[in-house]
Chains A and B, each alone.
Chain A
Amino acid sequence: MKRAIPLLFVAALLIGLASQFSGCAGAKGGDAASKTYVKPGEYDKYYAFFSGGHSGQVYVYGIPSCRYLTTIPVFTPEPAKGYGYDEETKSRLGGFTWGDAHHPGLSETDGDYDGRWLFINDMPNARIARISLTSFTTEEIFGPIPNLSAAHACPFPTPNTEYVFAASRFSAPVPRSKASKIEDYAKDFNGIIAGVKVSSEGHMSLGFEILTPPFDWDLADAGKGPSHGWEFFSCYNSEMAFDSLEIKASQNEMDYVAAVDWRAAQKAVDEGKGDIIGGVPVLDPNKVKGIIYLMPTPKSPHGVDVNPTGEYICASGKLQAEVSVFSFKKMIDAIAAGKFDGEKGGIPVLKYEDVLEAKVPVGLGPLHTQFDDKGYAYTSLFLDSQIAKWKVGPPWNVADKVDIFYSVGHLMTSEGDTRHPTGEYLVSLNKIAKDRYLPMGPSHPEATQLIDLKSPKMEVLYDFPTYPEPHYAQMIRAEKLKPLKIYPLAENKNPWKIMTAEEARVERKGKRVDVYMLTIRTHFTPDIVRVAQGDTVYFHVTNLEQDQDITHGFGVLFSSKNTQVDPGETKTIRWVAEKVGVNPFYCTNFCSALHQEMQGYIQVSPAGTPIASLQRPDPKKLEEVIALLKK
């Protein structure tokens, strides 16, 4: 009996603990499940585009089901979609085999997502990619941008996609080829803020660069509404430390948010006020005034986010417990009145009190803020592992908090950085998954949580892992996108395209061989190719299919060559006949009932063997193929 009492105590404790744990799991069983359920065959309401971090890719999910839809290869070769293997995408990668993709930026019109493109940065290599949202493929990679040393505050498009931006995270000598001593950091190193123009067709070109002190530029957001025409950038390391940044860059009470008047900066460059550095015009704020201002911001700010009306700029000091809300109007008034507190590298510094509208005590480690349609802001709290919901406007109070698992970095609300957030969902992109999923070894996926915003209290609906490592994501209403189902052959302008079996052939000129090849269920035409050792063979493969999802692959055995040709596409693969022998190739993408039979052979004869300069498929075979392809 005496022993029963402590046992009972332990049991009670366990029950108490258990209820505690089930409570902190957040989601409330069946009701939450029905809110994420999308019936088989039905579609999600939103597309969500997750940056793939150091995978260099973009992951696409459906919200609210949280189903993984696809990966869009961007900065890294990806054999599943044959990206980076054919000549065109290989050259797009520019010799890099990785990127660190941090921030997706959906194109906007009038401050709302328009569904045309998705921009995304490659932070370490200072590049920006543009993905078409009709083909879901990377159409353009711009950069490395001259003078830039990593692009973290990037791309954060302006409300009409006039510009995307990039700013140095790791300040370095400018130009980068300058031989400098690291000890001369403060006087010899510089940060760069670059404005990249986007044409109406989406093409990127450098608009301007601004030379800044060697701060570490961190994040950015575009002004909208009244603040349209301005881009805001946060920075840390105003201490200008070059080693032990963990300590040395965390000493100042205030770092900065920079406000860039991009119209004025572009005008200054157009008027020839830039110095040519690294081959491009760079504006020096010591000489060119009226383009950039600094707003002191407490404690190494991270996220800088403009609210939907464009009146407020919310900066989160990551080493404090508050969000500083700046008033755009106050900023403009202070600039107009010339109320400055000195300069940094020629950039006028405003006074914190002059521009501050409110300080919101959100909790520890605030990082990023997004918005809903009811006048609330949502700030991620890294240290507290929470999301705080707060009122934008008096009384500037915290209305609700929800626990997340664990250590949230970015968050996104549905269309939450536009002028018209929908206020339906919030996705918390957590940096630490730890024990949230079935154990799968020491390398963990990232933890992501879907939170319902439709009721006054936030509710965690769903947990889902993502492959490393999304930083930021954006979601757009599905009806805004009209993706292609196939590439219409009539619009295929590839110079290597062929349309009929009669055109299929192998042409050999010197040591260069061009194979004009067709694919259609279920054969390659031609499927026999004869070359000599040392020949460089270009396979130009046109997929004649015009039916949905009939992609043919082209993979060569014992090589690094494999690409995917979608219906209506032409792709070119370069393969060098290094060894004498016979090399099979085959369709790598299951296409139909006779997919296994879709193959061919390359016969490599010893160098010097006479090879026909023009080879056509066997006439008997051709006849069958022509009969099939008859239009």
Chain B
Amino acid sequence: MEFYRSHVLVCGGSPCVAAGCRAVRDEIERSVREQGLDREVRIIETGCLGPCDTGPIVVVYPEGTVYSHVTTGAAREIVSEHLVKGRPVKRLQYAGELPAVSTADEKRTDYFQIQKRIVLDNVGIIDPESIEEYIARDGYLAAGTALTGLRPEDVIDTIKRSGLRGRGGAAFPTGVKLSYTARAEADQKYIICNADEGEPGTFKDRLILEGDPHKVIEGMVIMGYAVGATRGYIYIRGEYYVSIDRIERAINQARWLGLLGTNLFGSGFDFDIEVKKGAGAYVCGEETALIESMEGKRGEPRQKPPYPGTSGLWGKPTVVNNVETIANIPPIILHGADWYRSFGTSTSPGTKVFTLTGNVNNKGLIEVPMGITLREVIYGVGGGIPGGRSFKLAQTGGTAGGCVAEAHLDIPMDYENMQSAGSALGSGALLIIDDSHCIVDVACSLLHFFEHESCGQCTPCREGTARLVQIFGKLREFRASQAELDLAMELARVMQGSSLCALGQSVIVPLGTIMEHFQGEIQAHLHGCCSAGKCPPSGAASASAS
């Protein structure tokens, strides 16, 4: 084994890839070679380090120095100054701190202190392409413990007692879901990992898969053992190139070491995983639409019942769980249900991974204990609203989540409290919007998303989403009437009650909360006034409005 005096971690999360980290990595490698340091310095591409809008991010160990917005020129300077001369380049250093980065420095910002990493504990620390590094951090210990020491019902019992609930949005108790499929009698059962992350502003699953793919594989092995499924599928967005590459590499490594395949850990249990790529339809994140897509059909939700737990993929009992849910399972099995319940709240134990986006200073991937307030996230972890603007609203849980206003900033973020605020934790998207934005413009934007993603199967959603776009489009042009606005809300309520799947049923959630919290601003648009100044009437439209 070789020893290196320095390790350089280059963030290889998709946002950093988009920002040019691959060229930076190549430049560092070239400079290190030119300086003759290649036996002293090791360069590693890691998973996401967190502050996604400041990439490319580079961390130099053992100092734990974080560099942000690194260019190829900066990369050469970091090598010549920091690695050769031992002088960190202050000018290029990241102003904040990263939870994934341990430093000798005791100074801790809120960004660091508020976060608690269970799902992301390896992300940004290990080389995601190395199964050895995962194993070195107790990887596959949970699977080994479960398969050799626990009965399937014990595994399910532990997950039930942990209080883990589905992290994809629906928040269904994971242990209960597993028990349905465990009870079902069938010659074949399946575990599907739902990595079809489609909520705008959500990219947590992608970064979990990129940063710690083996944790997801291990979680699936444990779930398969718990319910008696021998086949697993990871249904992943086709455009998640890095995730697909990492997970496929990880699957091959696990097979190579006998951690996937037959007779795992000598237990007699067989399990293997295959990756299926989706074509990028939001609705395919809905579990039955996902299954239809996997079966080669048009991605459209099925009428339930039957539920996938008893009749899913190819009509067989199937557990479909979100990436983050699955990534919680190895730590729960390893440390126990009580340990897990020590984080978060009594009804919503554990942590939640969020992607913080919009008008906030620190954007990116965070993991915080359930029950923390939105104010702590926005002003603590997020560092507040930039540009001297003030907070207007936060949409939590993705496009299908509710919009919460200033008054709700101190509500603890867990399943129950978010629901009582008319919203949801949902997929973990936190979109912060400041007071420069017009609420009608925001509504139009999210209604357009629903219209675009409606599969077209059921009448209320297919026809209704387009009609809502039409009516709110008129409102933005100051051409809508009160009667039309009332019709829109009647329509949204009917869609909630009679649409086939959650897509059409959910439109009322953001729309209802917008109407509740911003009624004055909406009403003003009926009278030709947009206080944010975002909605100028189009000339032709205003002429024909009267």
Interaction A to B: no
Residues of B within 8 A of A (CB): none
A residues at B contact (CB < 8 Å): none
